Structure 1
């Protein structure tokens, strides 16, 4: 039986769907190839509209799940073409789905994407619903990638952190002799993307150029960093349910009352500082022995963000996961391919020390083709 899995990831940045084909027949695993399908603006708007309470949510969610299934199928097709594979050569497609609500404190996390339709479209078994079993066991359901980071990036000699900077940033501590821990540090690209989209219509701040042209406002930064989430203990996870534009607007309104107006570009500079400072603070608080930080995700493309992060972590080596053999844009999709492989092996893939679940659990559900 084939041990090739295609992992699909569409994260909180809402840029599109990453697909990575991974062969687990060899050790270590072998990346065969990748594909990417960008989201069009209507999908992004529909996902954002479902982040909050609104009219006719059930129908809108179901219709969007169908649209997403077609996007996911296109991403699978792109990966198959890039890898010169047929559907029959793939054991399973592993689909994270698109998160629209994350509320583990209320006992649920919701990722949509019609997985039954995806199986029909691809003629390949689909594994999905990877977070809900951990939540059912009292966990956060996130982050799930630390177990993959441990399997792939652990070094017995050097304390490391693997840092993913997507819409939300999350880190994994890999320290010899200590438990693996992982958690969401707070905003990564999410607020930066939302703010530049509002004021310039761009999907992202290329190289952080707009942020670099502004000045961080210390009083505003302090106000943003006072958000209780940053000081909370572990386990913890977050998302757009907390760090959205209304959250930012509330803090901006309070800042303007106390300190006067702040320019749009200075808000962008402050948001970049918020991402970097909250990451650096989390590393210093929970991984103070760290000597190496390897970064993955879309944030690695933001040159100014990477420079500012390095400035806040002067005593550690900062590099991307490419230095460890896996390009930063492939890590999350490859991680979900690995989670699907674990499912087929009947191997528990959550880490209770990370999510807070009551114990190890088999993650996922199968939609056979």
Structure 2
């Protein structure tokens, strides 16, 4: 007999490097209807040293990556233990952790999320469910995006669910199947250029707003091969480093113009990605705070109702959904959809570690 209540901590670190998101969540499931409540939640920022390491880790050797994985698992263990102690969280069923993506090359049958080593369970003395992407890639899938099954279960009332983080991704129902894919980079590029101005990010898109659009650059970005591909498809930081940034660096234009042009590019690609240009669009992720980006999306989708939820859901939706993926894994239920990733079959992904 399955339980009806689960007390979980969801843990997520995204490619925009905002930090480690932690959310204490209670799930209730009755007659296949899921409800949730996010209790305590927090984002723990990375130190400058860790930030610099994670930014360049895509170029690390195998030996360096193995050491980074060990060090990051220790870091994550400390962060999770501190969160549990700070909020005096008791009776946890599991901690469900995404880890942090360093390499994502599904075309080569490979994806690496650090922080998912078995010792994580011993460090926090809790059952841990983690490493959700690897099995899907082994089954011929993209290993991403994994959030859409959570959109289907927890947010069925919206026509489209979109996350604006390091990358934008979208999820929606089509012919009784959940369809989802990565649309384009977002904060991985916007933050890169904000950093060059000495800022962590472009607050509310205020600098982007002052720029002008470079039409040649915009056309070059829109013509990239990735955007012509059909789903399932996904993106990793390699795409930004090897393709996007070299294009930008070939243009000697002010940073504010680069920011404006890329914001317009993101808004256009989102518009092109939606099969219907009306209905409701539910937006979460750090990019939802970028007022200028939201305005440009609304400009290109005038008949779309854009919904931005309360702060907890907006900021911690991915931690929430990885918590759900972990619960589904514990229940032996499907938590990855092949209609989304292109894997050979729907499956229950992730690894369960118990403390010794």
The superposition leaves residues 61-98 of structure 1 with CA deviations (integer Å, 9 ceiling, x where unpaired) of: 23322332244234424543564313xx1111111111
1:218-272 per-residue CA deviation (whole Å, 9 max, x = no partner) reads 121011111110111011001211122x523432465x4xxxx422221111111
Aligned residues: 348
* Residue 363 in structure 1 maps to residue 349 in structure 2: yes
- Counterpart for residue 160 of structure 1: 159
Matched, 1:107 2:109: yes
Matches within 5 A, 1:289-368: 290-322=278-310, 327-368=313-354
8 A contact 1:7–1:95 mirrored in 2: yes
The Cα shift of 1:41 comes to 1.9
8 Å CA contact retained: 1:146, 1:182: yes
Structure 1 gaps of 5+ residues are none
User: Residue 8 of structure 1: SS of its match in structure 2?
Assistant: strand
- 1:225 is aligned to 2:222: yes
- The SS at the match of 2:9 is strand
Indicate the larger mover: 31-40 or 212-221. 31-40
Asked whether the equivalents of residues 277 and 304 of structure 2 are also in contact (C-alpha less than 8 Å), the reply is no
Which whole-Å CA distance do the structure 2 matches of 1:294 and 1:186 have between them? 17
Write the distance in 2 (CA, Å) between the matches of 1:179 and 1:289. 19
Q: Distance in 2 between matches of 1:234 and 1:293?
A: 19
Q: Is the 8 A contact 1:96 1:111 kept in 2?
A: yes
Which of 40, 45, 50 is the aligned partner of 2:57?
Answer: 50
What TM-score do you get using the length of structure 1 for normalisation?
A: 0.89
Task: For residue 289 of structure 1, report the CA deviation from its aligned partner.
Answer: 5.9
The whole-number CA distance in structure 2 between the counterparts of 1:105 and 1:212 is 37
Determine the C-alpha separation between the residues in 1 that align with 2:94 and 2:189: 34
Unaligned runs of 5+ in 2: none
Structure 1 residue 147, shift from structure 2 partner: 0.4
* CA–CA separation in structure 2 for the residues paired with 1:14 and 1:339: 22
Within the alignment, does 1:251 sit opposite 2:247 as a pair? yes
Does structure 2 conserve the Cα–Cα contact (< 8 Å) formed by 1:66 and 1:114? no
Q: Is the 8 A contact 1:98 1:111 kept in 2?
A: yes
Within 5 Å, give how 1:99-178 maps onto structure 2: 99-155=101-157, 160-174=159-173, 177-178=175-176
* 1:216 alignment partner, one of 208, 213, 217: 213
- Report the Cα distance in structure 1 between the residues aligned to 2:197 and 2:134, rounded to whole angstroms: 37
Please say if 1:202 is aligned against 2:199: yes
Please say if 1:91 is aligned against 2:82: no
Change (3 A) 1:249 1:136: closer
By percentage of residues, which structure has more strand? Answer: 2
Distance in 2, Cα, partners of 1:205 & 1:289: 28
Q: Secondary structure at the match of 1:36?
A: strand
Q: Residues 182-216 of structure 1, C-alpha deviation per residue, up to 9 Å, x if partnerless?
A: 0000112110001121x212221111111111111
Aligned to 2:313, the other structure's residue is in SS state coil
For normalisation by structure 2, the TM-score amounts to 0.92
